[in-house]
Amino acid sequence: MDCLSCAAPLPAKSAKCLHCGTLNDIDLRTVHRSVASTEASDRTCPRCALLMSSVDLGIDGGFFIERCDQCLGIFFDPGELEHVLKVSVDRVHEVDRERLSVMIAEEYADNPRPVKYIKCPVCETLMNRRVFGAKSGVVVDGCRQHGVWLDGGELAQIVKWAKVGGRIIDAEAKKRDARSRQGRNLREGNEGAKLSGFESEYASSAFDSPLVGALRALFSIL
């Protein structure tokens, strides 16, 4: 993806051109949606502390996401991101391992944003940070109850990952996880532990916070 202003290549996962500083509106272009309408939202951007806009993506005759006009970050209610991916990315039958490995190398080569925990735009508690799907390299901020925040450029990256077959790898990882969980539950005589919304959606993803990671490891042992 190139900068719409100066044509320099954009860094992975970021909408901001390192060359001319232009913030490129690449996310909505990537999901091939012409914005049907925009109105003021009463939710606040967790990065800029400004009121966001409610943007109708025109899917299914009315599909609103919240977006910040300043940083171009997007907040998705539970299930919305999955739905946008479903309608934007055609079914992929094979993993393009070559392109995926190039993407992964790009992901870890640069980190356009310093790590900062941000607040859920709905309940204002600090959100968790997790890698979205297996090997996507995109760390998303999520609230268990209210949804997921993507910074500008991250949706474009997730769409790219889905197009090279990232979700196939994700499904395989989830299957492996489920098998090992099942094995563990059988050994321990438990019914399968039920995961809440955010967790089941990102069950195969790695935790970003060392503390949460340690807690999770602890609970999986117990």
Q: In this structure, are strands 139-143 and 37-44 parallel, antiparallel, or unpaired?
A: unpaired
End-to-end CA distance of the chain: 46
70 near Zn ion (CB under 5 A) = yes
Closest distance between Zn ion and the C-beta of residue 57, in Å? 18
Stretch that binds Zn ion, among 12-20, 34-42, 108-116, 189-197 (CB under 5 A): 12-20
Q: What is the per-residue binding string for Zn ion in 107-136, x denoting contact by CB under 5 A?
A: -------------x-xx-------------
195 near Zn ion (CB under 5 A) = no
Q: Is 78 left (phi over 0), alpha (psi -120 to 50) or beta?
A: beta
Closest distance between Zn ion and the C-beta of residue 83, in Å? 19
Residue choice 31, 57, 65, 68 for contact with Zn ion (CB under 5 A)? 68
Sign of the C-alpha dihedral, residues 166, 168, 171, 175? negative
Question: Per CB under 5 A, which of residues 132..161 are in contact with Zn ion?
Answer: 143, 145-146
214 near Zn ion (CB under 5 A) = no
Contact 65, 55 (CB under 8 A): yes
Closest distance between Zn ion and the C-beta of residue 74, in Å? 10
Sign of the C-alpha dihedral, residues 123, 39, 130, 90? positive
